[in-house]
Structure 1
Amino acid sequence: MTTEPRIIALDAGTSMLKAVAFDLAGQPVAIESRPNRYREAPGGLAEQDMAQTWEDAAATIAALVARLDGAPVAGLAITGQGDGTWLIDAAGAPVGPALLWLDGRAGPIVERIRASEAGPAIFAESGTGPAACQQAGQLLWLAANRPDQLAHATTAFHCKDWIYFNLTGVRATDPSEACFTFGSWRTRAYSPVTIAGYALEPYRHLLPPIVDGMTTQHALTQAAAASLGLAAGTPVVLGYVDVLCSALGAGIYGTGADCGTSIIGSTGMNIRLADDDFEREAGAPLSGYRMVFPVKGKTALLQSTLAATLNIDWLVGIADQAVKLAGHPSDHGAMLRALDEQVLAAPPARAVYHPYISAAGERGPFTNSNARASLAGIDRSLDLTGLMRTIYEGLALAAADCYAAIGGAPDMISITGGASRSVAMRRIFAAMLNRPVRIIKEHGSGALGAAMIAAVSLGIAPSMDDCARAWVAPLLGAPEPPDPALAEHYAPLLPIYQAARDAAPPFWHQFAGFTETRHG
C-alpha cells in the first residue's frame, strides 16, 4: 500500500475522458482514459448523452483509483470542454441531451444579435464575441425549438459543472465560463448587461452560483464515493474551463517567459495572458474570448478556431475510404501516422487551406456561422502528402491569424493537444509564426492545470506561482526554434490567407442559402 497522498484530476474533453493521478510534487503517477461519445447530424446538431457522460467519467476515475494501490486521495479536481448547454431539472436529472460547443443550430440567432446594438454591448461587457457554440445563443435556440425542455429545466450547466454536480450534489459553475458567457471579466460575476444583451432575463434563474475552485471545495457524496472507490468527504475542486487548465499546465503562467499557449486538438485555441487593465483597441472585431484567469489581476485573451485536428481527421478519413473502396482494410491510426511521417518531405506552401470545416462555421478571429473550409491555389502537382502538409499549414496560418487579433504572437508558444506530438506540425507551426515552440513532456496539460488549482485550493502549494515553478517548469520541453529558411518562405503567406478569407463571406452566405433550400 502507498501512503503518499495523490491528487486526481479529470479532464472531460469532447471526445476523450482522461483521469490523471499526481503526487504532491506534480508528477503524474497513473493515467486512465476512455472515449467520450457524442452524436452529430445534418443541420448543425452535436449532442451528448448526459447520463452516459457521467457514467463514463465515473468509470474512468474508478479505474484510476483501482491502480493507486490504496494511496489516500487528497482531492479530486474537475475540468472539461467549454461552452455548450447541459440542462437538469429540480431532481437533478437531465431534461434532454446536452448541446455541445460543436452544435451550430443557434447560428442564425447569434448572427442577428451580433448585427444589432446588443452585439457590441455584450462584447464590451463580457470581453467575448457572441458565437453559436456558447450557452447564451443555445438557450435562445432551445426557447424557440424545445420550449418544453427549458420549462422543465432548473439549472444550466457546462460539462464540468454536470460532473461536479454528480460528485458533490452542488449546483455551481466556475468563474471563467460564468463570466465569458453571462458576466463581466472586470467584476468576475454575472452581469445584468450581458444577460440583457441576450434578452435572457426570463432564464436568469437557470444560472448556477459561481464557485471559485481556487478557494472553495465541496465534499464527495456517499453515493459518488461508492461508485469511485474513494472515501466520502474527499474534497472536490471545480476547475476552470479546460482551455485555461490546459494553458496553465502548459506553462502560460509562472515559468519565466512571455509564453502563449496553442491547443491543437479537436478545436484550436490560441491564448495569451493580459493584465486586467489591458484594453483592446477600439473597433476590435466581435470575436474571441476574454477569460478570468485563476490568478487575480490576470485575464486570458483567446482566439479559438472551431476545428483544428478535425481537419486532419477529415483528410485521413478520405484516405481510409479510398483504401477500403479498393478492397483493402484500412486502419485510421496507421494511416494518420503514415501521412504525418511524409509531411515534411512535401514541398511547402503549394496551396492555401482555410480550416473552417465545422458545420457551426467559425468563431475566431472572426465569427460567421456560414464559414466553410476552402482549398485554393491547387494544381495537378498537389498529391496526398502535399495536401496533408497544406492542412498543417492551414492550421498554423489560422493560429497566426488568431494571435494577430490579440496583440501578436508572444515570444514563446507552448503547444499542447493531440497534434503537438507531431514533429512536422511543430516545425511548420514554429516557422509560420516565426516563434520558438515547446511542448510539455507529459501529455495531459488540462488535467495538470486542474490539479494545480486543487493543489493551491487545498494548501498543498502556497501559491500558483510556486505551483507553476515546481510542477510545470520541469515538464517543459526545450524550445524548438523556427527554421530560418522556412520562416522566410512562409513570411508573405499570412496576408494572402487573410485576403482570401476576407473575400469569402459573400460566397459563404450564398452557399448557405443554397444548401438550406436544397438539403434542409
Structure 2
Amino acid sequence: MIIGVDIGTSLTKAVVFDRSGVSIAEASTPSEVRHLPGGRVEQDLDQVVGTVATVVREVAAAIDGPVTALALTGQGDGVWLRDEDGRAVRPAISWLDGRANALLAKWQADGVTREVFRRTGSGMFPGCAAAILSYLDEHEPESLDRAVVAGYCVDAVAQRLTGEITVDVSDASLPFLDPATRQYDERAIAACGLSHRRGLLAEPARPKSVFHLNAHGAELLGLPQGLPVTAGPFDLVASAIGAGVRKPGDGILIAGTTLACQVLTDNAEFNADGEPAGMFLSTPAIGEFLHAMPAMVGTASIDWVCRLLGIEVPQIGALLAESVPGAHGVRALPFLSASGERAPFVDAAARAQFSGLSLEHGRADLVRALCESIAYAARHCLEAAGLSGRLYACGGGVRSAEWTQIFADVLGRPIVIPSDPGVGARGAVLVAAESLGEPFDVEVWASNSRTVEFVPENVEFYQGGYADYQASLAAARGLWRL
C-alpha cells in the first residue's frame, strides 16, 4: 500500500492504487496561491505541508491494510528557501512568478540565456530558480543569507517529513544541470552571477534513493516513524511515467494549468544554436531524458475566458460544439500569463490577442478560437520536442471530449488517455515501488486507457490554421514589449 501524493500548485492529491494500477482510495484539498502586485506569486510552505497531512490521513483511513511507503511528486521550478530544519525563511516563490521579468529580458539581451542553454540545454524563464535567485540576490539578499537550501516544492515537503536535505535530479535539471553527467555545470551558475550562492543548491539524490519518516513527519501524517519515503520525480516526469511513456520518441501532453509537452529521448544532444527554450529533464532511468516544452498556456486560460464571459467551466464543451473548426474566422494567440511564455520560445512580454472579430461572432467563437490556439501551441511545442511516436495526454483539459478532439485533429494523431486522472501520483508510486525493489507491472498499469482518434477532414483544415497561427505569432513577437 504505497500512498502517492501529488502536490500541485493549487491542489494536493493523494491516491492509493491496487497492483493493476486502479485507484482504490483518493483525497484532495486545495492549496493557497497568493497573487500579489508586480506579478509576484507565492505560497506558504506550512500551508502546503498541511495539505499533504490532510490528504494522507484521509486515504490512510480509507484503506484496509498498513501503509508501506509514501511517494511524493509535485510542482517544479520556483524557489522554496528553507533553513536547516526545513522552515521557510520567506514565502515560497512560485514557478508562476513574474518579478524577474525584466531581469530575464536583460539576460536575453546580454546573452546569458544563450550561454546557459548552450551548456545545459535548458532555456530560462522568469519563474525558474536562476532568475528568481538572482533577483533575490539583488533585492532581498537577507533571505538568501538566512537560507541553508534553495530548493523546490517536493524536496521542501520531504525535508519537513524526513529531515533530509535533498533534491531529485528531475527538479535539479533546470537550469544548471548538465543532463549527460547529472552534475551542476559551474559555468552555467557563474553565467547567472550566482557562484557565491552555490552552497544553496543541494546535490541531486542518487537514483532509487529512499528516505524515512522522522518523528515529526510520523506525527504529522499519523503514520509509523521510519516509513519509507521517495521524493520525486517532480510532476512533469512523474506524469509521463504514470501515463505510460516508455519508448524514445513517445510523448505526453499535460493539459493542466499550463501546457506541458514532453518527449522521451535517449539522447541528451541538442542544437546549441537553436531557440533557448524548453529543458532536458533527467528521469529515474540513467541515459533517458524528457525533452520538455512546458508552455505557460493551458487551463488557466480557459478559467480566464469563463470569468470574462460569465460562464462555468462545464459549459465549455457545449460552446465548442456550437462553433465550427476555425471558429467562423476568429483567431487567437493564447499567451495570457503575466510572466509571458517559456516554451517553445521564451519571452516575458508575450501577450494574448484575438483577431477577426465582428458583430456576428458570439462567445462560442471566442471559446473555440482560444481552445484551438492552445492546441496549436501544443503542436508547436511537440514538434520542437521531437515527437515521433505515440502520444499520451492527461490533465484537466482532456476531461472535455470536445477539446480533446480539437487536440487530436490539430496534432493529426491519435491520443491515448489513461482512465485514471491521477497520473502524477501513479508515476510517483511506480518509481517508489522500483526503488523499494518490488516493482509493479508497468504494462498492466498503462493498459487502463482509451484512445481518441483524429478526424481526417479536420486534420486537413487545421494544417492551414496552424500555418496562420505561426504567421500571427511571428508578427506578434516583433511587437511585444514589457
Q: TM-score, normalised by structure 1?
A: 0.89
Q: Which piece of structure 1 moves more, 410-419 or 75-84?
A: 410-419
* Matching residue of 2:29: 34
Q: Distance in 2 between matches of 1:54 and 1:119?
A: 33
How far the C-alpha of 1:258 sits from its partner, in A, is: 4.7
* Matching residue of 1:367: 346
Q: Distance in 2 between matches of 1:128 and 1:467?
A: 33
How far the C-alpha of 1:235 sits from its partner, in A, is: 0.3
Per-residue CA deviation, residues 171-192 of structure 1 (Å, 9 max, x unaligned), is: 1100012132221101012221
* Matching residue of 1:291: 281
* Matching residue of 1:379: 358
Query: Is the Cα–Cα contact under 8 Å of residues 376 and 410 in structure 2 kept in the other structure?
Result: yes
Query: Is the Cα–Cα contact under 8 Å of residues 178 and 189 in structure 1 kept in the other structure?
Result: no
SS in 2 for 1:103: coil
1:261 equivalent among 238, 248, 252: 252
* Matching residue of 1:468: 442
- 2:480 aligned partner, one-letter code: W
**Is 1:481–2:448 an aligned residue pair?**
no
Q: Distance in 2 between matches of 1:421 and 1:294?
A: 29
Q: Distance in 1 between matches of 2:293 and 2:173?
A: 16
Q: Distance in 2 between matches of 1:237 and 1:459?
A: 13
- 1:346 aligned partner, one-letter code: S
Per-residue CA deviation, residues 316-369 of structure 1 (Å, 9 max, x unaligned), is: 11222xxxxxxxxxxx6xx22123223123122122211111100000111010
SS in 1 for 2:175: helix
Unaligned runs of 5+ in 1: 1-5, 321-331, 513-520
Q: Distance in 2 between matches of 1:27 and 1:347?
A: 37
**Is 1:218–2:191 an aligned residue pair?**
no
Q: Distance in 1 between matches of 2:377 and 2:190?
A: 33
Aligned pairs for 1:329-408 (under 5 A) are: 335-349=312-326, 350-407=329-386
Query: Is the Cα–Cα contact under 8 Å of residues 251 and 259 in structure 1 kept in the other structure?
Result: no
Q: TM-score, normalised by structure 2?
A: 0.96
Query: Is the Cα–Cα contact under 8 Å of residues 121 and 270 in structure 2 kept in the other structure?
Result: no
How far the C-alpha of 1:112 sits from its partner, in A, is: 1.9
Q: Distance in 2 between matches of 1:385 and 1:377?
A: 14
Assess, with a 3 A threshold, how the Cα gap between structure 1 residues 344 and 123 changes in structure 2: closer, same or farther: same
* Matching residue of 1:14: 9
How far the C-alpha of 1:282 sits from its partner, in A, is: 5.2
* Matching residue of 1:317: 307
How far the C-alpha of 1:92 sits from its partner, in A, is: 2.7
- 2:330 aligned partner, one-letter code: A
Q: Distance in 2 between matches of 1:381 and 1:316?
A: 20
Q: Distance in 2 between matches of 1:359 and 1:20?
A: 32
* Matching residue of 1:63: 58
What percent identity do the matched residue pairs reach? 34
Q: Distance in 2 between matches of 1:281 and 1:149?
A: 37
1:490 equivalent among 440, 459, 462: 462
- 1:494 aligned partner, one-letter code: Y
* Matching residue of 2:402: 424
Per-residue CA deviation, residues 210-237 of structure 1 (Å, 9 max, x unaligned), is: 114x421011112211221211111000
Q: Distance in 2 between matches of 1:208 and 1:46?
A: 24
Query: Is the Cα–Cα contact under 8 Å of residues 281 and 289 in structure 2 kept in the other structure?
Result: yes
- 1:289 aligned partner, one-letter code: M
- 2:466 aligned partner, one-letter code: L
Aligned pairs for 1:292-307 (under 5 A) are: 292-307=282-297
Aligned pairs for 1:130-209 (under 5 A) are: 130-209=124-203
Q: Which piece of structure 1 moves more, 38-47 or 409-418?
A: 409-418
Unaligned runs of 5+ in 2: none
- 2:209 aligned partner, one-letter code: T
Q: Which piece of structure 1 moves more, 139-148 or 10-19?
A: 139-148
- 1:178 aligned partner, one-letter code: A
Q: Distance in 2 between matches of 1:446 and 1:90?
A: 29
* Matching residue of 1:440: 418
SS in 1 for 2:452: coil
* Matching residue of 1:327: none
Aligned pairs for 1:64-83 (under 5 A) are: 64-69=59-64, 71-83=65-77
Aligned pairs for 1:229-240 (under 5 A) are: 229-240=222-233
Query: Is the Cα–Cα contact under 8 Å of residues 94 and 127 in structure 2 kept in the other structure?
Result: yes
How far the C-alpha of 1:121 sits from its partner, in A, is: 2.3
- 1:437 aligned partner, one-letter code: I
How far the C-alpha of 1:290 sits from its partner, in A, is: 0.8
**Is 1:505–2:482 an aligned residue pair?**
no
- 1:130 aligned partner, one-letter code: M
Per-residue CA deviation, residues 73-109 of structure 1 (Å, 9 max, x unaligned), is: 2211111101001001234321111100000111211
How far the C-alpha of 1:281 sits from its partner, in A, is: 3.5
Q: Which piece of structure 1 moves more, 372-381 or 92-101?
A: 372-381
Q: Distance in 1 between matches of 2:359 and 2:442?
A: 50
Runs of 4+ in structure 1 displaced over 6 angstroms?
none
- 2:13 aligned partner, one-letter code: K
Query: Is the Cα–Cα contact under 8 Å of residues 250 and 414 in structure 1 kept in the other structure?
Result: yes
Query: Is the Cα–Cα contact under 8 Å of residues 297 and 335 in structure 2 kept in the other structure?
Result: yes
Assess, with a 3 A threshold, how the Cα gap between structure 1 residues 24 and 166 changes in structure 2: closer, same or farther: farther
- 1:226 aligned partner, one-letter code: E
How far the C-alpha of 1:380 sits from its partner, in A, is: 2.3
1:454 equivalent among 411, 428, 432: 432
The alignment of Structure 1 onto Structure 2 pairs a total of residues equal to 480
Q: Distance in 1 between matches of 2:397 and 2:388?
A: 20
- 1:75 aligned partner, one-letter code: A
